Structure 1
Amino acid sequence: MNVAPVVLQTARARVELLPALGGSVVRFTWDGRDVLRPAPAGTREVLDTGNFALVPFCNRIRDGRFSFGGHDVALAPNLGDHPHALHGQAWRGAWTVVSASETEAVLAFDHAPGEWPWAWRAEQRFVLGDHGLRQDLTVTNTGAEPMPVGLGFHPYFPARDGERLQAGVTGVWLIDDDCLPTTRVEGLWRSDWAAGAPTAVSELIDNCYTGWNGVATLSAPGGASTTLTASPDCRWLHVYSPPGADFVCAEPVANRPDPFNGQDSGIKVLAPGETASVWMNVSSS
């Protein structure tokens, strides 16, 4: 695997991308501070990186199975012995570099029909500027049949001492032992993210929060704050905070987990040649 990074840089910020490792962000610093969790040197595991794209669906599909458009789809597990397929195909694949300059890069991933029986092309555009790192994710249906699509991002943020997350959410999906959604609850449940709450937890949080207003802020005493904003199509914020972890994930997503079971899941249907897009901006202040 060619592990040469693509580097974007300004006077204040530096971003390193690894196209061959899921098109991931392996480091993003602002004024020398790690805004995203830095990946270990030489890593070959995308789950150790700072951010990767979710395409053509976000989170889990129950047992990797669903039916759509006359296809009975069966996706193989892609996270060890966990039985439920996660995050699509591109995060475990190699992306190609379409273009790269000092402050902007475009990566692409082409998928041929297989277990996922539709052809598609995804592109990520990274732009590093005065207002942070902007990441646009698009997917185009390059096949001859309508295709279901959900897009999102999976950023990991360093969990500093006293780290708090504030996000404008109004409800949450409760989960079972396999982290699949069971019941939607309106209002406060455990951590009050809307008011701001510590990211350090004693019980696992791996939940999809509803009613998100597209803004989330991470802050710690005496340190700079990180602000995440995302496009309106990212109606859900998925928070992943394991007990004792040195990171917290706040993931803007356009579909909720297990999106082929239940209504109002966020899944779109793309006609042949049609494109869907989402964006995310991460800034430090």
Structure 2
Amino acid sequence: MDPSGQQFEIASGGVRAVVTEVGAGLRSFTVGGVPYVETHEAGKRPPRGSGSLLAPWPNRVAGGRWTWEGTPQQLALTEPAAGNAIHGLLRHVLWEAEHEAESVRLTAVAPPQPGWPEPVRVAVRYTVGYEGLTVTTVATNLGEWPVPFGLGFHPYLRAGDAETDDSTLRLAATTELPLEAQLPAGLARPLAGADPLRDGRPLRGVSLDSAFGGCEPDPVDGRVRHTLTAPDGSGVALWADPDFRWVQVFTPEDFPGRSRAVAVEPMTCPPDALNSGTDLIVLEPGKAWTGSWGLTPISATA
């Protein structure tokens, strides 16, 4: 059995994606055979969180400890070397799938357990079409009491066949959250209006494992939009609903098959939000939250 479980291919014309049964992760996304996310070999686990869905919280919880409604919580330390809980509860479980030609819907429940007080059902639908890829998530509180919720995704973007070092990253963020050991170490600071990441920063020689916030929607379509482009202007746009106010950027140098890679992770809340409360979504009993993001190819400039 592949560690990622079944592989669900969806396609519309030349737009194609593969989604995994384990973790409901995005394994690949191509348009006309051109890759716009990093992939990984069959028979191996996704490296470096590649393509993962992060729920019911993204990123890290310091020491796995937090408090909800006056009750201390202690999560399993799934990042044992650092002593943290990381990336939620659903990355390594089998999701129930409804597979069609152009879409696949996967569903799983984060049950009550040590460190997590109420059951939350997460349903995600991946759809391909002429615009590219759309990913829509619905989170529902199945319990009897309110519960916090946060969501993130962990795609490693590619500007087609361009090397990461030859690509330029542009973010819609307006703030940066200082981190120490990947955890918040102070208040978010404003990015200057001419900050390279807002105007477009070439990635050669740049090392990032950073959290950015205050992501501003485009006034035309109301979507947050981050881009990764090649020297000729081609590349990929990652768009998201306004609730995705945060984005983590990670540039490991040991991604399999690539000298460098860049994760651009849309998130509804920052690292350690279960403790800070920053931008947490609170799900009332029986209520649901819905949010979408997606990937759209960018054509080369004339």
Asked whether the two chains share a fold, i.e. TM above 0.5, the reply is yes
- 1:174 aligned residue (175, 178, 192): 178
1:228-275 Cα deviation digits (max 9, x unpaired): 110110111211123575211111111111113335x11121111111
Q: Which residue of 1 aligns with 2:69?
A: 69
CA distance in 2, matches of 1:182, 1:113: 30
Say if 1:185 and 1:153 are closer, same or farther in 2 by CA, change over 3 A.
same
CA distance in 1, matches of 2:276, 2:9: 42
CA distance in 1, matches of 2:215, 2:71: 33
User: Secondary structure of 1:227's partner?
Assistant: strand
**TM superposition score normalised by structure 1:** 0.91
Say if 1:129 and 1:254 are closer, same or farther in 2 by CA, change over 3 A.
same
For the 8 Å contact 2:148–2:274, the answer to whether it is kept is no
**TM superposition score normalised by structure 2:** 0.86
Q: What's the CA shift for 1:119?
A: 0.7
- 2:282 aligned residue (246, 261, 269): 269
Say if 1:47 and 1:92 are closer, same or farther in 2 by CA, change over 3 A.
farther
For the 8 Å contact 1:40–1:48, the answer to whether it is kept is no
User: Secondary structure of 1:260's partner?
Assistant: helix
CA distance in 1, matches of 2:156, 2:46: 14
Q: What's the CA shift for 1:189?
A: 11
Q: Which residue of 2 aligns with 1:37?
A: 38
For the 8 Å contact 2:52–2:153, the answer to whether it is kept is yes
For the 8 Å contact 1:201–1:241, the answer to whether it is kept is no
Q: Which runs of 5+ in 2 are unaligned?
A: 217-223
Say if 1:87 and 1:122 are closer, same or farther in 2 by CA, change over 3 A.
same
- 2:11 aligned residue (9, 12, 16): 9
Q: What's the CA shift for 1:45?
A: 3.8
Q: What's the CA shift for 1:156?
A: 1.0
Q: Which residue of 1 aligns with 2:26?
A: 25
Q: Which residue of 1 aligns with 2:213?
A: 210
RMSD across aligned positions (CA): 2.1
CA distance in 2, matches of 1:148, 1:249: 25
Q: Which residue of 2 aligns with 1:197?
A: 201
User: Secondary structure of 1:29's partner?
Assistant: strand
1:6-27 Cα deviation digits (max 9, x unpaired): 110122121111112x111111
Say if 1:205 and 1:33 are closer, same or farther in 2 by CA, change over 3 A.
same
Say if 1:269 and 1:48 are closer, same or farther in 2 by CA, change over 3 A.
closer
CA distance in 1, matches of 2:27, 2:230: 22
Q: What's the CA shift for 1:34?
A: 1.0
CA distance in 2, matches of 1:58, 1:190: 29
For the 8 Å contact 1:69–1:146, the answer to whether it is kept is no
Amino acid corresponding to residue 275 of structure 2 in structure 1: N
Q: What's the CA shift for 1:161?
A: 4.2
CA distance in 2, matches of 1:277, 1:52: 18
Q: Which residue of 1 aligns with 2:153?
A: 153
Q: Which residue of 2 aligns with 1:233?
A: 243
User: Secondary structure of 1:92's partner?
Assistant: coil
CA distance in 2, matches of 1:190, 1:87: 32
For the 8 Å contact 2:164–2:262, the answer to whether it is kept is no
CA distance in 1, matches of 2:120, 2:230: 41
Q: Which residue of 2 aligns with 1:250?
A: 264
State, as a whole percentage, how many aligned pairs show the same letter. 27
Say if 1:149 and 1:190 are closer, same or farther in 2 by CA, change over 3 A.
same
Q: What's the CA shift for 1:28?
A: 1.1
For the 8 Å contact 2:56–2:149, the answer to whether it is kept is yes
Q: Which runs of 5+ in 1 are unaligned?
A: none
